[in-house]
Amino acid sequence: MSNSFDVLVIGSGIAGLSFALKVAQRGHSVAILTKKNKADSNTNWAQGGIAVVTSQTDDFAKHVRDTLVAGDGLCDEKVVREIVRDGPERVRELVEIGLKFSRDADGGYDLGREGGHSERRVLHVKDMTGKAIEEALIKAISREPRIAMFEHMFAIDVITRRKLAGPQSRGADRVLGAYALDVRDGRVLTFSAPVVMLSTGGAGQAYLYTTNPDIATGDGIAMAYRAGVEVRNMEFIQFHPTALYSTTAARFLISEAVRGEGAVLRNLAGEAFMKGYHKMADLAPRDIVARAIDTEMKKSGAAHVWLDITHRNEAFLRTRFPQIYQTCKQLGINIAKAMIPVVPAAHYTCGGVATNLSAETSLDGLYACGEVACTGLHGANRLASNSLLEAVVMAHRGAESVDGYLRAARKLPAPVIPDWIELGAGDTDERVVVTHNWDELRRTMWDYVSIMRTTKRLERARTRIANLDREIGEYYWNFSVDARLLELRNLIQVAELIVACALQRHESRGLHAIADYPKKRKAARDSRLRKT
């Protein structure tokens, strides 16, 4: 079965939906593939908000400076300036399609403040901003006849001209479409499109403890790398400092906005400790706060630290943080009266598929936007709430670029794409291998490639992941594919990239802290990987 479109969007978060809407409004046919339900995305889990300059006391220079400081010398300053500058107009467009940000008593935006920000500039919808953005975009897309939404459709790999013609073929390589698994009936479908946008989010599920939803398995990063596209700075995995402590792998995010409203981190002795680590104390950048918590836990042997917001009254907390308040209450914690047990957890992939400011990758017709991409905005550590800003700005820029690319691509001959060939029937008795390898990978990454690293730990991780790669590679080529197998294949690929990039970086910078190289090098450089 074949489906032909002008543009194929893989992923349904803020990046993919914003991009799809704008491309369709330019007259192009669009298919959105999402491996679960259309609202399942990292965007939907985003609590804090979107950082953008709207206040009269704020300005672009301050936002740029805060971003550069958080990025620890590795941000691309030109990229930072342009994305920050474009932010207000892109937010205005979100408001026009129906997004209602929280307002203060005077009717102005109720601006939040988060770690690393020198001003209040975070627009939010209480503590459910991502969910509100997702709902507004899905509603707008439902009114656009040029967009077709394919739910429960798992993209396996992008199809390229060179992949079909062979590596010795002449001429420039370009995207032709993608193969995708219909998760509900097990069929692999062929989607033909001269443009593919990767907007699949990050790879938090590579780690045992993460704030990310189950879908965050690094699919787009792995697909791009397999297609020969450059991947950058994968060692910079951001660990959110304050996930609700639990004895299970599921860790609910306690938004940084809680500290923006005055919450204080305390060790088990009740001592506020962040002043000893940074001048901004509890509002220091995330990499510093996460390492501080990790240090305090290791010093005392504690399983968590405390987040104390008990100085704020219950009515305020119920109104400002309804989701956090209710979730904690269900676990027996009234956050107005009791401190919250918190720990760091894998949260955001700062590196990813290398793109320019038009969301273009090195492969003609392949674009990437959102957490899957590495634009240079985040550097070695993302500033809080800059992720949704980047997604909406880069989606707009990508749509503009695609419009021009499609006009040129229409002059090219339509490709003949063969159907997917099923190589193996599969043995259900062997499916336990996938579960065991999944667990081993996530624990390996947590134990050896976490907040503090050493070269020896990274090398151990590389050896273990290589073994997993061989096992799953054999499984992939000999058994029928399913979603769980495809996710694990992608996670193993991404884990290899994280470790390989980390071993390239002989310094401690931002989110990459390594005991062998405690100092930061004078010259900042990106880590880069490309499959040959």
Q: Where are the alpha helices (DSSP H) in 98-178?
A: 129-142, 161-165
Distance CA 199, CA 32 (A): 10
* HEC secondary structure over 474-514: HHHHHCCCCHHHHHHHHHHHHHHHHHHHHHHCCCCECCEEE
**Active-site residue 286, yes or no?**
yes
**Tokens for 233?**
């700075």
User: Would you state the structure tokens that stand for residue 383, as one six-digit string?
Assistant: 């500033």
CA distance linking residue 40 with residue 86, whole number of Å: 27
CA distance 23 to 17: 10
Which of the residues 161, 251, 286, 489 is marked catalytic? 286
Q: Report how far residue 488's alpha carbon sits from residue 438's, in angstroms, rounded to the nearest whole number.
A: 6
Dihedral class, residue 10 (left if φ above 0, else alpha if ψ from -120 to 50, else beta): beta
Which pair of tokens denotes residue 365?
């017709």
By the 8 A CB rule, do 434 and 488 touch?
Answer: yes
Strands 195-198 and 366-368 come out as: parallel
- Residue 3 · residue 192 · CB < 8 Å: yes
User: CB burial class (10 A; 0-12, 13-18, 19+) of residue 386?
Assistant: buried
- How many Cα atoms sit within 13 Å of 29 on the Cβ side? 9
Residue where the block lists tokens 């096992």:
471
528, containing H or E segment: strand 528-529
Cβ neighbours for 237, distance < 8 A, ≥ 6 positions apart: 203, 206, 207, 346, 348, 349, 350, 449, 498, 511
Q: Which two three-digit tokens encode residue 438?
A: 């999944």
Residue 185 DSSP code: T
* Helix, strand, coil percentages in the chain from 3-state DSSP, rounded to 5: 40, 20, 40
Q: How far apart are CA 342 and CA 255, in angstroms?
A: 11
Contact 130, 14 (CB under 8 A): yes
Residues identified as active-site? 286
